A = this chain, B = another copy of it.
Amino acid sequence: MADIAKTLPLKRSSVQSAHERIKQHIHRTPVLTSTTLSNLASTPQTQESLIGTPFEGQTPAHPKINFFFKCENYQHIGAFKIRGAFHALSRLSEEELSRGVVTHSSGNHAQALALAARTYGIPAHIVMPTISTPSKIAATQGYGAKVYFSGSTSDEREAVVKDVIKDTGAVLVPPYDHPDIILGQGTMALELEEQAAELVREDPTLSVHHNQKEGMNGHVNEVDSTHNSSPSRLDAVIAPIGGGGMLSGIATALHGTGTFVFGAEPSFEGADDARRGLAAGKRIPTVKTLTIADGLRTPVGEIPWTIISDKSKLRGIYAVTEEQILAAMRLVLERMKVFVEPSAVVGLAMALYDEEFRHLVEKEGGEKGWNVGVVLSGGNTTVEAIGKMFAVSEQKGERQEGKMGAQGEKVAENVAG
């Protein structure tokens, strides 16, 4: 991989430069709005739904939230990972490219690197645990990659990678812990800004800022002076955090624009390593969790950590429960009719159910509210997996489901296409 000492600095202009390099290879994925989900997010949760949380007994927050969804599930290979992979390859020399690339991954990064390598006409060597699902192995091979099998521990995987490098001279492309990957993933934020602006130009009422004079009580809402004054401005962008390549890329892209960046992660079995790390002032290097958000089981990488622990770049990280992830996933599937994987909806779950975030929006957004960009990061799951997720949730009595239902029934409008 390109020598870290020679990569571009981690700032917005470098993300713009990355976008120029990769945009011919990637989809400019759609940005969708949803009256249904924005109305849901702008409806207070029930008192009952706060039982057992730190907010039990308090008045539920009443923020006004207006969503713009960046649909990276419609990206090539069904997830955003292709952005970083293409950018990494675009920074390699001809000589490096000729040696091919190697990585270990059982997930979306494997397919992303395989497709990018095929596009460049170079070999891709992918190390996968022997226990990987056959469909993922087949998909990676389908992009023309050579798949090598290893045991499932890090050590076993890295040993095979080392062998491949020794045999072939291939260049290692890691999944997130490298500036070129971070800059590549950040490109989605540039598109999201532009696309939200295009949507608002066509229909100004899509933005909460379309009419500064309008407020619930006729008051003019004061806008935070750090924000830009465009009517289409995004007050915040929320993205999931696993290894942190995407979130740190977005924070880099939006730094200095006045848009706050937030991270969302699962809390199950300690998967909220980024949130806990920020609280402790120290990166947590290992995590062992089986959260259903399987793309987010990874601890934050070292380079992403330098960005997300910078308060001027990242406003905060909030964690959501498995039940909240399922509830958000149901809404995206059944109401928006968009097919996503569990990892994709943690940002939405945070905006719908995290009272701390919701109180913050109520306070800072006031009656006018916030335009909130939410990244739906991927859609690589199966109908069987969905069946099992919700069957388990049904057995547990669907407690969260019941709670969500009450809020859900208030809104009947469907999503805008």
Q: Measuring CB to CB, which residues of chain A are less than 8 angstroms from any residue of chain B?
A: 27-30, 71, 73-78, 115, 138-139, 142-143, 329-330, 333-334, 336-340, 379, 381-384, 386-391, 394, 409-417
Select from chain B the residue with minimum beta-carbon distance to A78: B414
Q: Can you list 12 residue pairs at the A/B interface with Cβ under 8 Å?
A: A27-B416, A28-B417, A30-B417, A77-B414, A142-B410, A142-B411, A334-B383, A337-B339, A337-B340, A337-B379, A338-B338, A383-B387
Select from chain B the residue with minimum beta-carbon distance to A415: B74
- Given A383-B330, A412-B142: A337 and B417 within 8 A (CB)? no
Select from chain B the residue with minimum beta-carbon distance to A411: B142
Select from chain B the residue with minimum beta-carbon distance to A114: B412
Residues of B within 8 A of A381 (CB): 334
Q: Name the residue in A78, A334, A394, A409 with the highest tally of chain B Cβ atoms < 10 Å from its Cβ.
A: A334
Q: Roughly how many angstroms separate A386 CA and B334 CA in the complex, as a whole number? A: 11
Residues of B within 8 A of A383 (CB): 329-330, 333-334, 386-387, 389-390
Cβ distance A230 to chain B, nearest Cβ, rounded Å: 25
Complex contact B414–A76 (CB within 8 A): yes
Complex contact A390–B379 (CB within 8 A): no
Select from chain B the residue with minimum beta-carbon distance to A32: B74
Complex contact A417–B330 (CB within 8 A): no
Q: Name the residue in A338, A382, A414 with the highest tally of chain B Cβ atoms < 10 Å from its Cβ.
A: A414
Cβ distance A107 to chain B, nearest Cβ, rounded Å: 15
Q: Name the residue in A73, A74, A409 with the highest tally of chain B Cβ atoms < 10 Å from its Cβ.
A: A74
Cβ distance A101 to chain B, nearest Cβ, rounded Å: 18
Residues of B within 8 A of A77 (CB): 414
Q: Roughly how many angstroms separate A384 CA and B390 CA in the complex, as a whole number? A: 6
Select from chain B the residue with minimum beta-carbon distance to A333: B339
Q: Roughly how many angstroms separate A71 CA and B339 CA in the complex, as a whole number? A: 14
Cβ distance A32 to chain B, nearest Cβ, rounded Å: 9
Complex contact B386–A29 (CB within 8 A): no
Cβ distance A283 to chain B, nearest Cβ, rounded Å: 33
Complex contact A142–B409 (CB within 8 A): yes
Complex contact B71–A417 (CB within 8 A): yes
Q: Roughly how many angstroms separate A337 CA and B142 CA in the complex, as a whole number? A: 19
Select from chain B the residue with minimum beta-carbon distance to A74: B417
> Which of B334, B338, B379, B388 is the one whose CB lies under 8 Å from A387?
B388
Cβ distance A139 to chain B, nearest Cβ, rounded Å: 6
Residues of B within 8 A of A386 (CB): 383, 386-387
Select from chain B the residue with minimum beta-carbon distance to A412: B142
Complex contact A412–B379 (CB within 8 A): no
Q: Roughly how many angstroms separate A338 CA and B76 CA in the complex, as a whole number? A: 15
